[in-house]
Structure 1
């Protein structure tokens, strides 16, 4: 049974945390998992560069250095007869940022709590709910699912500043995705839309609005063995035009990111993960880099 426990251990959680700081590149979001499993994950993230194409604030030439820990909890359960998962992610970050706002240079060094994100995954094809004893007898197959992620404005925000840890607004991210194994390989595909509410407390009592950001991502994964895999990741995202008090402030061009993820199970309960990703186009300054190291613990 340890083979299968290692298999689920390294696919249950860790990359959820990295969505705090970069356009999502999240392999194995839609896979078959046994019900009744719990995961706790912790990671350290460092990112630097011009991240204008992952906008949360209406500025130009935004460059940031961000680092800090993030934490996540996930639980698998049965929903309408199929396997499902809910996870919650939060963290703390310190950042130094520089930008141009209304033609003036602004900068700030600051630390605080990040916004909290909750996601519900529901696999509606190829993943009937199974206990661990049932799961170990079931071969891998094609899985198709959907998810809804919600980000709550719990992070530190001060309307006296343009640069903040928190965004002071909600977003809702519906997504549909699939996992398609073939031998030791696996292809993951997904498409999503990130829909934002307004920030009505922008500096100067202004209202900040943003159009949805659309994201298509793919992952080519190779399994070295139980709980041991590597993934080449890529995405294409577009949209996200921004407005201040109804006046357009930025027109976001389509961009690409690419990265790599390496995951290894230490035993049936513990695993670690390394990842890196980078913008591979520079439309509107998509040249940030992200590095992270993560650990996860699983229990029944």
Structure 2
């Protein structure tokens, strides 16, 4: 099996289901890929700690312990002559949550289906559409692309509770990113903004609004060997002030996260990935820890 084919498999292991808690620390989102490839992924994620920096509900001192499985599907295809990728994911989660809402303690244990996320990646530089046969003959090069991720409010939501699995609102996340290889190393950079609609059913009738969250991330990746790599990940994000019925309830200070990802191709069709990341600063929380393990299967 060629190094290029192994690179395809490990690059497309789908972990974006973790992004609610890790602020999208997602390496190799903008590498070149052959068209006509399908990927199915399954993962298990565990996170605990203060996730105040990216809440789906307007509470203070929000601490969550969440675990559960998720599944994802992706397909690469040609768009305007360049390589593109579509992916979709959804999961099931169980959580124990504690928070302070309007000066009162709130706790809840609950399980449910998560919101569904879809994303379109379009590489507009350095990634002409190629079949697998054409792709394996090409060396790695600089790729620049953009993406749009949309989260639909399909998750479990009960307006009698502050803490829920689903957010009961949409979000749209445009992003631009690049992948820069140099020898056995690769540097990934991206910038994004997460823009959310309002939740008009917060505890029945309250209106919850949130300003956009801006995110800058980087990944330093080392190819250990054919089909095997490790990445040091970091990001900086800010914004996301929240309002309930027009009254500001939280002011999100800037925060940092750091983590590590390890990925290995088992053969030409199967691969596994492990990740861990943690908040580095605690300006307004952000000391949550995320662990995940994932498996992916590729076919033409």
Q: TM-score, normalization: structure 2? A: 0.99
Distance 1:154 1:211 in 2: 22
Distance 1:230 1:220 in 2: 8
CA displacement at 1:91 relative to structure 2 = 0.4
Q: Secondary structure at the match of 1:56?
A: coil
2:78 corresponds to 1:78: yes
- Equivalent residues in 2 for 1:170-209, closer than 5 Å: 170-209=170-209
CA displacement at 1:20 relative to structure 2 = 4.0
2:155 corresponds to 1:155: yes
Q: Secondary structure at the match of 1:13?
A: coil
Distance 1:3 1:268 in 2: 10
- Equivalent residues in 2 for 1:215-254, closer than 5 Å: 215-254=215-254
CA displacement at 1:181 relative to structure 2 = 0.2
2:42 corresponds to 1:28: no
| Alignment match, 2:145 | 145
How many residue pairs are counted as aligned between the two chains? 300
CA displacement at 1:16 relative to structure 2 = 2.0
Structure 1 residue ranges without an equivalent (≥5): none
| Alignment match, 2:114 | 114
Distance 1:229 1:130 in 2: 24
Q: Is the 8 Å Cα contact of residues 21 and 51 (structure 2) preserved in structure 1? A: no
| Alignment match, 2:133 | 133
- Equivalent residues in 2 for 1:11-22, closer than 5 Å: 11-22=11-22
Q: Secondary structure at the match of 2:90?
A: strand
Q: Is the 8 Å Cα contact of residues 13 and 272 (structure 2) preserved in structure 1? A: no
Distance 1:258 1:21 in 2: 12
CA displacement at 1:55 relative to structure 2 = 1.5
Distance 1:5 1:139 in 2: 12
Q: Is the 8 Å Cα contact of residues 35 and 77 (structure 2) preserved in structure 1? A: yes
- Equivalent residues in 2 for 1:32-43, closer than 5 Å: 32-43=32-43
Distance 1:90 1:21 in 2: 14
CA displacement at 1:259 relative to structure 2 = 0.1
Q: TM-score, normalization: structure 1? A: 0.99
